[in-house]
Chain A
Amino acid sequence: ETLRLSHNTGDATTWHKGAEKFGELLAEKTGGEIDVRVFPNAQLSGGDQMRQAEMVGRGALDLVVTSAINVTPLVPEMAVFSLPYLYSSYEQVDATTQGAPGQMLADILLEKGIVVLAWGENGFREVTNNIRPIRTPEDMQGLNMRVAGPMYIDVMNALGANPQQMQWGETMTALQQGVVDGQENPIGAVIIPQQVYEVQKYLTAWHYSYDPVFLGISRAKWDSYDADTQAHIRDAAQEAMAYQRQITRESTASGIEFLREKGMEVYEPTAEELEAFRAATKPAFDTWAAKVGEELVTAFQDAISAAN
């Protein structure tokens, strides 16, 4: 049987490579009985990235690879990952996604009909702009920033910038013509593949918000398999997403060099400078932590302090 997998990025991204890897491994483990066809660019949901998870939840699609931000309209608790300056290292990230806190969210997604098989990575979101290098929160004052969602609006407001919501399709021209001054996105997943470096001068690797990816299967599909097959599926998913995390981190690390070669001025803030950003965005953190729920945030913070 061929399962259909939907994800919302292009076919050259680490999401796609992870999804393809999952298909290969699954075919191998099941002796060719189950294989996977990957549909990039949210083609199966008519280009709507927000609806994919919901379609998997009601069993209309089999599999999905998507990121937490894309699922928040369906599962608001997923916003916990992207709280500003929740994380300061990959070790802390892994302590949550690969540990008990990740399981808490998997339980919530299960209620929506999605079985989370494994966690992957979209990456830390970094800021770019055309006006000046950003080293302190004061440097953000008055910049028109294109952002991806309601939480980032509050974060940008806390930093004194002017947030704008804009569809990605328009953002590149808007950056080029100066309708907006800057934007924020992960390096490996967006800034490099979408060629943001062609229209932006400065990048600050401020790691202000994290976005994980997950590979999920529809609960109806999952329940139709026996324990052996389920084990094969889960193993293939774990292995594929471990691979996806690894290539994402590698491409992010080499990406900074690549962006410098392309002429961007890249700034990597010190720990003290990051602390200033953390302090400045605290009001937004508090607002959104309250929305997500204290219990969940505490579980994340505990796992993070244990990882240090």
Chain B
Amino acid sequence: MGFLLRDAEKIICAVIFLGMTALGFANVVVRYGTNLSLAATEELLTNGFLLLTVFGGAIAARRGEHLAVTLVHDALPRALWKPLFLMSVLLTVGLLALSAWFSWQALTNLYGNGMRSYALGLPAWYYQAALPFGFALIIVRYIQHALEVLKGRAKDEIPDV
């Protein structure tokens, strides 16, 4: 259970990524080897990519991997670092919350107007249903990481080699 909670987004990503690899490769093989092609491959891959981006974003947030420029920050007096860090976390969480809200709106629009996917003709909202939750998960992971930084348990710097 603990593993599931801790690794939720990593498990999701591994499954999606492996599935995308298998599907995309199968399409190449089937097209080359037979007279058929898996016509819906493109649609499934690009939408899988969308999920991969959001849930992969959560993995990166937990590890503090989202790239920032530290040049100006490092030149400022040390006393300012903590308030600046808090402000940066607050702004980021704000944008992620907005993104969750925007994707929730997009989802309800798609649900309401009955738009269908291009190749498979599935309801288009299926593909975007997980997005708002993905953004919410990034927020959770981002805050988890920020708390660890504040408690001094996580390195707030990317290791400098």
Contact = CB atoms under 8 A, between A and B. Distances in A.
Chains A and B touch (C-beta atoms under 8 A apart)? yes
A169 B36 CA distance: 22
B31 interface: yes
A58 B42 contact: no
A164 B37 contact: yes
B42 A167 contact: yes
Nearest to A170: B42
B124 interface: yes
Contacts of A164: 31, 37, 39
A153 B41 CA distance: 14
A73 B115 contact: yes
Given A50-B118, A150-B119, A57 B113 contact: yes
B21 interface: no
A163 B117 CA distance: 18
A142 interface: yes
Given A163-B37, A165-B39, 14 more contacts: A54-B115, A57-B113, A58-B113, A73-B124, A74-B113, A74-B114, A112-B113, A150-B39, A163-B39, A164-B39, A165-B37, A165-B42, A165-B119, A167-B42
Contacts of A76: 116
Given A58-B109, A162-B36, A164-B31, A73 B117 contact: yes
Interface of A: 50, 54, 57-58, 73-74, 76, 112, 142, 144, 149-150, 153, 162-167
Output the residue of A73, A112, A163, A166 with the most chain B CB within 10 A: A73
B35 interface: yes
B84 interface: no
A164 B39 CA distance: 6
Nearest to B42: A165
B118 A149 contact: yes
B40 interface: yes
B39 A153 contact: yes
Contacts of A50: 115, 118
B121 interface: yes
Contacts of A73: 115-118, 124
Contacts of B42: 165-167
A74 B117 CA distance: 9
A208 B116 CA distance: 25
Given A163-B39, A164-B31, A165-B41, A54 B119 contact: no
Interface in B78-129: 109-110, 113-119, 121, 124
Contacts of A163: 37, 39
Given A54-B109, A74-B113, A162 B119 contact: no
A144 B39 CA distance: 12
A167 B31 CA distance: 16
A148 to B, nearest CB: 9
Nearest to A76: B116
A122 B113 CA distance: 25
Interface string B18-46: 00000000000001000111011111000
A142 B41 contact: no
A130 B18 CA distance: 35
List of 4 A-B pairs having minimum Cβ-Cβ separation, nearest first: A165-B39, A164-B37, A73-B116, A162-B35
